[in-house]
Amino acid sequence: MPVIVFASSKGGAGKTTAAVVLACELARQGKAKNIGVSLIDADPNQHSAAWAKLDGKPDNIALFENVTEDNILDVIEEAQQKTPFVLVDLEGVASSAVVGAVSRADLVIIPCQPSQNDAKEAAKTIKTIKYGARISGREIPFSVMFTRLSAAIITKTGKHLAAEFDGAGVDVFKCSLIDREAFKSIFSFGGTVNDLEASSNKAQSSIDKAAENARLFAEEVKQHLKRSLQPSKQEVA
């Protein structure tokens, strides 16, 4: 079962928001087919676990909390036996837990805000991923995802960083996670963006846009996984 890891050597890059939003959308899409999602919180801050303990968590999301470097590999293996999708929310440092999780990943998503400092941290994370690839003896697919972007404009810095990543041969998600109130609200009230109640037509429009953002995010993740899990021509032969 595919393991999707959210990694960044910088705290506050948007790992937890991206992980929870993706978990919710995959759970929403999979509910009718009885497809579940495992959400592993390996961040000492336990923000993903705090969200999951609020009312409204989809029944087909299984939470694994208080995961440490001592048990993270065992937990990932256990989660793979339970659900088709395994999402890992890591701490914002380079640690043995991060390297261990990355070495088991089918896709590593590197959340990055549109700032030069975040881009430098993303570069550090890429080095960690490549180190994990050497340990595991295989290529580990990864992609940078811009987070907390303004819905109104794409900043000059954001365009510059996207061009820098592209020039360095680093894959970047076409979909970015927009800075919307709906994504913040689920950490206060629980549930998913689709469950939020709007107080006005304007608020409903914002919720609908957040839900569509989540859907596009999930679809692009599945496209990445389809490519990364596809057998090579040599294996097929």
Per-residue H/E/C for the chain: CCEEEECCCCCCCCHHHHHHHHHHHHHHHHHHHCCCEEEEEECCCCHHHHHHCCCCCCCCEEEECCCCCCCHHHHHHHHHHHCCEEEEEECCCCCHHHHHHHHCCCEEEEEECCCHHHHHHHHHHHHHHHHHHHHHCCCCCEEEEEEEECCCCCCHHHHHHHHHHHHCCCCECCCCEECCHHHHHHHHHCCCHHHCCCCCHHHHHHHHHHHHHHHHHHHHHHHHHHHHCCCCHHHHC
Is 236 or 43 the better-scoring residue by pLDDT? 43
pTM (2 d.p.): 0.93
Amino acid identity of 153?
I
Q: What span, in angstroms and rounded, lies between the C-alpha atoms of 84 and 36? A: 6
Residues 156-181 have a mean pLDDT of 92
pLDDT in tens, 86-127: 999 999 877 888 999 999 999 999 999 999 999 999 999 999
Report whether pLDDT(231) > 80: no
CATH top class, domain 3-230: alpha beta
Average pLDDT, the chain: 92
Which segment of 48-62, 124-138, 148-162, 165-179 scores lowest on mean pLDDT? 148-162
What number of residues does the chain have? Answer: 237
Amino acid identity of 24?
C
Residues 132-151 have a mean pLDDT of 92
Q: Are 104 and 76 in contact (CB under 8 A)?
A: yes
Q: What span, in angstroms and rounded, lies between the C-alpha atoms of 108 and 116? A: 21
Residues 6+ apart with CB under 8 A from 153: none
Q: What span, in angstroms and rounded, lies between the C-alpha atoms of 110 and 101? A: 13
Helix-helix angle 181-189:15-30, to 10 degrees? 80
pLDDT at position 183: 96
% of residues, the chain, pLDDT over 90: 81
Q: So where are the chain's domains?
A: 3-230
